[in-house]
Amino acid sequence: MFKPNFTYTTHIVNNLLKITSAREIILHAYLVPKWDVALRKEALVRNAHSSTRIEGNRLSLEQVTELAAGRAVMATRKDKQEVLNYLYVLEHLASFAEHEKISEKSILNVHKQITKDVLDNPKDSGRYRDSQVYVGDRSGNVIFMPPKTKDVPTLIRSLISWLNSEETKKLDPVLIAGIAHYEFVRIHPFIDGNGRTARSLASLILFLSGFDIKRFFALDDYYDSDRNTYYAALQTVNPKTLNLNKWLEYFTDGVAVSVISVKEKILRLSSEKLRKDVKGQIALSERQMKIIEHLQRNKKITAGDVAKSFKITRQGALKELSKLVVLGVIKLNGKGRGAHYILE
């Protein structure tokens, strides 16, 4: 079974302490639900923009934001499809796990969705590579040669066994995500889309561990801010010893930057008024989150809209809306046929 080679350097430990401290503030902050939704949406868009941009996608953050809202943008079909694919994976991240665990099927399905309708050979989507690949620089020089093609399935299964082992569960989830990210890139199991799949895998690990349960963190932003440093960090691992210390220092740097950024946003949002109005953070169901997302896009919503969207009765829709009214998240405007709900 795969066994990572690393030690707890002072740099790594200090980053983990920073991350833990900032995350505690985030989890216990006073935050109204509409900001909860806004932060999640912002992280989703920024992750999709950054992760696809690292690998050459030309869409701007504004264009990705428009696509995420269901609006049309002027761009090539491939660029749009890559972003839409990544958005889909992030929005449905939990569905790629099997019984809350990562499996070989999980990884193949993530890759299949990420590369849907963008590969030269559609048969390579969701399937391990059948030929040797290499990683090169812009001049065409080989900077890394992944393991032999025939070894890919065994190496991936070994990584999955390690991910799901009891010993691994004792590690900090940030380290697990960082280790899995590197090992996946090292194996390079697919013809294309390895980077995006590796970053999705890291996000899935953090989500399943409960670390990023609210999906607030835009980790890919850090990698995209300096792509040369990202690639250089991957190359710090000696191919003979596979010591991950320098890579994990860089990876935990990125998580710390993202978590601290979210903490600072939340502290700004948690004004004195919110502290008085909201007695702690309000937990919303997935359905309630969708209602708020609809309100942020369309400014208002009716019981009929909710009933149609979730295929429930009007009475069931009114019940969902009433819960949000009681929580002080939305309020009723108008009467009779013109009755609708808006954000409080």
Q: Which residues are catalytic?
A: 188
What is the chain's alpha carbon radius of gyration, rounded to the nearest angstrom? 22
Q: Which amino acid is at 306?
A: V
CB 211 within 8 A of CB 240: no
